[in-house]
Amino acid sequence: MEIRQLRYFLAVAEELNFGQAAERLLISQPPLSRQIRQLEQELGVELFHRTKRKVELTAAGTAFLPEVRQVLTQAETAIQVAQRASRGEVGRLVVGFEASSTYDVIPTSLKQYRESFPDVDLEVYGMTTEEQFNALLKKHIDIGFMVSPVKDERFNIETILEEPLTVALPEHHPLTTQDQVQIQDLEHEPFITFQRNRGCGLYDRTIATCQQANFSPIIVQEADEMQVILGFIAAGMGVALLSASVQQFQRPKVAYRQLSNAPQVDLSLTSRCDNSSAVLQAFIGVVRECCAVN
């Protein structure tokens, strides 16, 4: 039994006229009659009483009709679900993001994606870069927003934004009198950083930047949230190197200054090379659009 035969049966059952049913189906009458006979032979029952004047449903045909309607409705639903899945409109997506990041594109992308794909089950978790790599390998997340991740052949890593590092200082720090700060000016300053043991991308970038200037930062305090770090800076406990977008946080008693010849901090989308799902590709497309707008 074929779906096509069920559609032919439904047309004849509703029209009770083979000629009109054939016109409705955009086929000629002889092949329609053959398909109905084949269906009856397969079922072992007569579905229609045929005379020269009229066509009527038999008792078997009458009982068969609502079941056929239900099967065709379910088949159409299945087709639509498959087509929507192929476009990434249904399914599940788990996203990680660098909890230390202040990039606007992350919440903007997530909001736009939820609005564009409301039937996708979207889950979002704050993670460090290292945690995201591990979660990707274990297939706990599908994609991650990472700050300055290392290259790895197991992953597709696409840089979507680049920003320079900036210096966050206590409000009355002597360096606030300068428009720009040299990295060497911070050699003897106490540093506030993200937690080292959590593999944060900004922590690694801070260390690398200072070492390139031939000193190691004096780390006096670590924290796992941006607002906590800014709180420590406001209290006068130290300075921090952060991505330039942190300046959107106009925290009282915190001043921001440009870092001379500042290295770039990359925000990248990272996913497994073996994951090419339509849901994932649709999400990446939304992020790219949001980055283009910004």
Angstrom distance (rounded) from CA 229 to CA 11: 70
Kindly state whether residues 156 and 182 are assigned to the same domain: no
Query: Domain boundary at 43, 62, 86, which?
Result: 86
| Domain hosting residue 32, numbered range | 3-86
List the CATH number of the domain containing 122: 3.40.190.10
If we measure between CA atoms, which residue out of 134, 98, 159 comes closest to residue 272?
134
Kindly state whether residues 246 and 273 are assigned to the same domain: no
pTM value is 0.70
Kindly state whether residues 248 and 274 are assigned to the same domain: no
Cα–Cα separations (whole angstroms), residue 291 to 59, 123, 156: 63, 21, 18
Find the angle CA(38)-CA(42)-CA(43) to the nearest 5 degrees: 120
List the CATH number of the domain containing 52: 1.10.10.10
Kindly state whether residues 81 and 110 are assigned to the same domain: no
Assign 198 a pLDDT band (cuts: 50, 70, 90).
Answer: low
- pLDDT score for 52: 80
Assign 123 a pLDDT band (cuts: 50, 70, 90).
Answer: very high
Averaged pLDDT, 200-222: 90
Assign 172 a pLDDT band (cuts: 50, 70, 90).
Answer: very high
The torsion angles phi and psi of 242, rounded to 5 degrees, stand at -135, 165
Averaged pLDDT, 113-117: 95
For residue 190, what are the β-bridge partners?
A: 218
Q: What is the mean pLDDT of the chain?
A: 90
What ranges make up the beta strands (E) of 179-217? Answer: 180-181, 190-194
Kindly state whether residues 206 and 65 are assigned to the same domain: no
DSSP one-letter code for 247: G
The count of structural domains within the chain is 3
- pLDDT score for 101: 64
Kindly state whether residues 193 and 237 are assigned to the same domain: yes
- Residue 233, pLDDT above cutoff 90: yes
Averaged pLDDT, 196-213: 82
Rounded to the nearest 10 degrees, how much is the dihedral formed by the CA atoms of 34, 40, 43, 45? -170
Cα–Cα separations (whole angstroms), residue 1 to 8, 20, 41: 12, 23, 10
Kindly state whether residues 12 and 77 are assigned to the same domain: yes
Kindly state whether residues 172 and 228 are assigned to the same domain: yes
Kindly state whether residues 76 and 114 are assigned to the same domain: no
Kindly state whether residues 211 and 222 are assigned to the same domain: yes
